[in-house]
Amino acid sequence: MIVPAMPVQSVPARPPALASGLRDRLRAAGLHLGLSAIAAAAVLLTVLLGWYPQPMIRLHGVDAILFIMLAVDVVLGPLFTFIAFDRRKKHLALDLAAIAAMQLAALAYGVHTVHQGRPAFVVLVKDRFEVVAPAELRPKSVTEALGNPFAVRHPLRPRWVAAHMPDSAQERQAILFEAIEKGRDVQHHPKLYVDYAAEASGALARALPIERLRALNAQHGALIDAAVARSGLSASGLRYLPMRGPARDAAVLVDASDGRVIEVLLLQPW
C-alpha cells in the first residue's frame, strides 16, 4: 500500500522589503556609530592629553562626567538614526540632518563646559598652588591683565605661574575684602601673575619635606617611593607644596635645589 506523502509546510520567508530595510537601518546606524566614536576619541585625546593632563582630571572630578557625556552622545545619535532611517521617507535627509545637529549641539555644549572648567592656570599663592579655571576669571579681570605675558592661556595645557601681591596697601585690602565677600582671592586676578621661576625660591622656603607627606599618607608609601624614583632625585632632594583643586587636593613635588615642579601626586597634603 502506498502511503500518500504529507505536504511539506514551508516557513514563510521574510518579506524582502523588511529584510532590506533592517539592513539599511543597521548600516546607517553603524556608520553613524563609527563617526561618533571618532569624534568622541578626538575629544578624549584633547581632554586627557591637553586640557586635563594627569592627574588633573581627577583633581577636578570630571572623569566620570566626561565619560558619561561621551557615552550617551555616542549611543543616542546612532540609536536615533536606526529608528528614523527609512529610504521610503520623503524627508529622510532632513531627519538625519536634525539628528546630527542635535548630537553636535549636545557634544559642543559638553565640550565647552569641560573646557571652561579646565585648569588654565596653576598659581603659586604663598605656600600652596591654586588651580584656576577660565570660568573663574571675570571678563574685567581678564581685560585688566592684557599685556601681561604670564596671564596668556596656553591653548591646551595648564600654565604654571605665581601670583604677586600688589604693592599698594589699598589694592591688597580690596583683594582681601573680595576674598572674604565673594571668594575671589589673589589667584583670580591674572594681572598679578608673574613667572613661577621668579618666585621659586620663596616657594622652596615654604615647601615641606617628603617625610611629612609620608606621615600624612602612610598607606601610600609605595606610590611616594615610585614618584621619588621617577624624579631621579633622592627623597632629601625633594620637597612638596599643597595644591588645592576643585574636587580634591594634591601634593606638588618640587626640586629642593631650584623649586622646579617635578610631579603632582593625588595624596593628602595637609
Residue 2 is predicted with a pLDDT of 57
Residue 234 is predicted with a pLDDT of 92
Contact 258, 200 (CB under 8 A): yes
Residue 210 is predicted with a pLDDT of 94
Helix (H, G, I), strand (E, B) or coil at 71: helix
Q: What amino acid is encoded at 168 in this protein?
A: S
Q: Cell digits for 27?
A: 548600516
Q: How far apart are CA 38 and CA 100, in angstroms?
A: 14
pTM score, whole prediction: 0.80
Q: Where are the beta strands (DSSP E) in the chain?
A: 121-125, 128-132, 159-163, 193-195, 208-209, 238-244, 249-255, 261-265
pLDDT tens, per residue, the chain with 270 residues = 555 555 555 555 555 656 667 888 899 889 999 999 999 999 989 998 899 988 898 888 888 888 888 888 888 889 988 888 888 888 888 988 999 998 899 889 889 999 999 999 999 998 899 999 999 999 999 999 999 999 999 999 999 999 988 777 777 787 777 777 777 788 899 999 999 998 888 889 899 999 999 999 999 999 999 999 999 999 999 999 999 988 889 999 999 999 999 999 999 999
Other Cβ atoms less than 10 A from the Cβ of 173: the count is 11
Residue 209 is predicted with a pLDDT of 95
Residue 219 is predicted with a pLDDT of 94
Q: How far apart are CA 239 and CA 262, in angstroms?
A: 10
Residue 24 is predicted with a pLDDT of 85
Residue 201 is predicted with a pLDDT of 86
User: Taking the mean position of all CA atoms in its chain, how far away is CA 189?
Assistant: 23
Residue 17 is predicted with a pLDDT of 55
